[in-house]
């Protein structure tokens, strides 16, 4: 029996010295009276992939949704603490959550393209934010986003077809194209491959590797192999606490905490 305070203390390297994109300090999230995230402090590095792993219900998705204030839309959800993106606390009163979300792309667990054409799916974000002055510019953004998402060659002849007619993997890449169409700084991915087959998963992982050259990416995943393949840093969550965070290699080869070791070796979770 370990003492509870020992088990929930973050080990590893939560605080980065340089290359910091996001720093979270003392973040707590409550759903009504239930505390989902407990006193969490961690830094996210710029232009690298950070993977959040942990058993179901450990709060990793909840924490991910703090970064674009998606939790605001949930009733009774309260977030305290600071999340600072580029020297700006996004929970500051003067921050507009809608504008914030335009700077942060999000890809969801289940592909959720709009029931509109492929073109309209990608064009929607730039259009509402006025990123294109005319049709030609909008075309460029749409095509560029689809290219970056590795989807353009597959759909270039059917841009007017409904987005929902694509296969699951293509739909998810369409959602990634939609997310990057508004030129975000940060992309959040909430188990983006959990509904996909291994081939589609492989394509998405390749894409993530490509995207990290330009974007900061946080990915929640249930697959340890996926975390090992795509991420540079890994954070392990347990019961709403951050147990261990550090370089992916170190976490998977030589974890400090016993819970982390149990989880990645499959003895637990």
Partner 1 sequence: MAHPDLIGTEQRIWVPADDDVDMLVKGHIQADSEGSGRIKPHTIHWINTLKERGALEMRFNRALFTNGDSREPELAGIWGAVVGSFYTLFVTLLLSFPLGVATAVYLEEFAPQNIWTDIIEVNINNLAAVPSIVFGLLGLAVFLNFFGLPRSAPMVGGLVLTLMTLPTIIIASRASLKSVPPSIREGALGVGASRMQAVTDHVLPLAMPGMLTGTIIGMARALGETAPLLMIGMVAFIVDIPTGIFDKATALPVQIYLWADSPERAFVERTSAAIIILLAFLLVMNAVAVVLRKKFERRW
Cβ proximity to partner 1, 101 vs 233, nearer residue: 101
Residue 183 in 3-state DSSP?
Answer: coil
- Binding mask 27-66 vs partner 1 (x if CB under 8 A, - otherwise)? ----------------------------------------
- Residue 178 binding partner 1, by CB under 8 A: yes
Count Cβ neighbours within 10 Å for each residue of 96-105 and write b for 16 or more, e otherwise: eeeebbbbbb
Q: Which residue has the tokens 């999000």?
A: 106
Query: In the complex, what is the shortest distance from the CB of residue 77 to partner 1, in angstroms, rounded to a whole number?
Result: 13
Cβ proximity to partner 1, 77 vs 102, nearer residue: 102
Query: In the complex, what is the shortest distance from the CB of residue 103 to partner 1, in angstroms, rounded to a whole number?
Result: 8
Helix (H) or strand (E) holding 98: helix 97-103
Q: By CB under 8 A, what part of segment 106-165 binds partner 1?
A: 106, 108, 110, 112-115, 124-125, 128-129, 164
Query: In this structure, are residues 86 and 31 in contact, taking their beta carbons and an 8 Å threshold?
Result: no
How many Å apart are CA 242 and CA 220, to the nearest integer? 14
How many Å apart are CA 113 and CA 122, to the nearest integer? 9
Cβ proximity to partner 1, 44 vs 182, nearer residue: 182
How many Å apart are CA 35 and CA 28, to the nearest integer? 7
Query: In the complex, what is the shortest distance from the CB of residue 114 to partner 1, in angstroms, rounded to a whole number?
Result: 6
Query: In the complex, what is the shortest distance from the CB of residue 39 to partner 1, in angstroms, rounded to a whole number?
Result: 27
Kindly give the pairing relationship between strand 233-238 and strand 49-53: parallel
Kindly state the number of chain residues that form the binding site for partner 1, as judged by CB under 8 A. Answer: 28
Query: In the complex, what is the shortest distance from the CB of residue 250 to partner 1, in angstroms, rounded to a whole number?
Result: 32
- Binding mask 80-99 vs partner 1 (x if CB under 8 A, - otherwise)? ------------------xx
Residue 232, φ and ψ in degrees, nearest 5: -95, -35
Query: In this structure, are residues 85 and 22 in contact, taking their beta carbons and an 8 Å threshold?
Result: yes
- Residue 176: closest CA among 210, 132, 140, 199: 210
Binding site for partner 1 (CB under 8 A): 68, 70, 73, 75, 98-103, 105-106, 108, 110, 112-115, 124-125, 128-129, 164, 175, 178-179, 181-182
């Amino acid at each position: 029996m370990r003492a509870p305070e020992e088990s929930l203390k973050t080990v590893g390297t939560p605080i980065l010295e340089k290359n910091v994109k996001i720093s979270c300090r003392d973040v707590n999230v409550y759903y009504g009276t239930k505390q989902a995230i407990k006193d969490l402090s961690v830094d996210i590095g710029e232009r690298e992939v950070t993977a959040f792993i942990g058993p179901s219900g450990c709060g990793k998705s909840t924490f991910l949704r703090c970064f674009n204030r998606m939790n605001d839309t949930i009733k009774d959800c309260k977030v305290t603490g600071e999340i600072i993106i580029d020297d700006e606390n996004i929970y500051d009163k003067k921050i507009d959550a809608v504008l914030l979300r335009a700077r942060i792309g999000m890809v969801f667990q289940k592909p959720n393209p709009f029931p509109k054409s492929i073109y309209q799916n990608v064009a929607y974000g730039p259009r509402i934010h006025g990123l294109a002055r005319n049709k030609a510019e909008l075309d460029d953004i749409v095509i560029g986003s689809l290219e970056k998402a590795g989807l353009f060659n597959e759909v270039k002849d059917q841009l007017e077809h409904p987005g929902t007619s694509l296969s699951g993997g293509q739909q998810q890449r369409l959602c990634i194209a939609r997310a990057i169409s508004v030129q975000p700084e940060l992309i959040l991915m909430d188990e983006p491959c959990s509904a996909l087959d291994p081939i589609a998963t492989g394509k998405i992982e390749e894409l993530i590797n490509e995207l990290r050259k330009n974007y900061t990416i946080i990915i929640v995943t249930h697959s340890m192999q996926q975390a090992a393949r795509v991420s540079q840093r890994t954070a392990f969550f347990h019961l709403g606490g951050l147990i261990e965070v550090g370089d992916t290699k170190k976490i998977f080869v030589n974890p400090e905490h016993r819970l982390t070791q149990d989880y990645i070796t499959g003895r637990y979770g």
